[in-house]
Amino acid sequence: MSLATSPCSHPADGRCPAGEDPAKRRQILDGARRAFVRMGFDAASMNDVTRESGVSKSTLYVYFRSKEELFAALIGEERDRYFSQVEALLVDARNPEETLTRFGECLAKLVMSPEAMHAKRTVIAVASRMPQLGRDFYRHGPQRGLALLTAYLDRACEAGSLAIEDRTLAASQFIELATAGALRRRFFDDEAPETSEAEIRTIVASGVRLFMAGYGARA
């Protein structure tokens, strides 16, 4: 259960200990998200977060020591949402074409969502002076997703439905195929329209065909 929805550790008296009220934490995170989106991560200050969230500075610092912690918490929420959806899709090792289609469409929608695009742009912008933020973003996000897909490809190969020597490389290739062309356009052009569901289905279907042509057990 995430901290955003967890009950207080000691709720007997009806009050949460300092820093453990999930509603207050939610209020702060929502305010921080608005401040970062409206002003940009660099320009926004902790004072801006207090104004947006409607809490005092002393309350804010009980929950988060810096705006870097706030940003990391917001990324963590998006990451948890993403993995809760994709993990449930990678289960049917005997039907990789159908499984990869569902996974690819979910992956494309999530990584190209406005929230995800804003987070990626922000991480890239600050990574040179906050390298740990960039490393954590990669290790707990893209690298974890790559490991999940690689593990699925391992199971599919063991089931005889795929034939792949380098499963990690194949997983990386599929992730690129699922967002081919659209992700980079959205990343670099902030005026580019959101990729429609029809476009995503077309991109993913083509990617799955290529993947199965190369790695399908009967390829």
In tens, the pLDDT along 146-174 reads 999 999 999 999 999 999 999 999 999 99
Q: Given this model, what pLDDT does residue 8 score? A: 57
Q: Given this model, what pLDDT does residue 14 score? A: 55
pLDDT-derived band at 127 (thresholds 50, 70, 90) equals confident
Share above pLDDT 90 across residues of the chain, in percent, rounded to a whole number: 53
Letter string b/e over residues 149-163, b meaning 16 or more CB atoms within 10 A of that residue's CB = bbebbbbbbeeebbe
The distance of Cα 19 from the centroid of its chain, to the nearest Å, equals 25
pLDDT at 17 over 80: no
Q: Given this model, what pLDDT does residue 2 score? A: 38
pLDDT at 12 over 60: no
Q: Given this model, what pLDDT does residue 16 score? A: 66
200/34 Cα distance (integer angstroms): 28
pLDDT single digits (tens) 90-103: 999 999 999 999 99
The region of weakest confidence among 41-45, 61-65, 205-209 is 41-45
pLDDT-derived band at 75 (thresholds 50, 70, 90) equals confident
Q: Given this model, what pLDDT does residue 153 score? A: 98
pLDDT-derived band at 37 (thresholds 50, 70, 90) equals confident
Question: Any idea what the Cα angle at residue 185 is, between residues 179 and 187, rounded to 5°?
Answer: 90
Phi, psi values for residue 42, rounded to 5°: -65, -40
Q: Given this model, what pLDDT does residue 18 score? A: 55
Cβ–Cβ under 8 Å, residues 173 and 153: no
Q: What is the CA radius of gyration of the chain?
A: 20
Q: Given this model, what pLDDT does residue 76 score? A: 86
CA-closest candidate to residue 73, choices 4, 142, 1: 4
Cβ–Cβ under 8 Å, residues 90 and 84: no
Q: Given this model, what pLDDT does residue 116 score? A: 84
Q: Which residue type sits at 112?
A: M
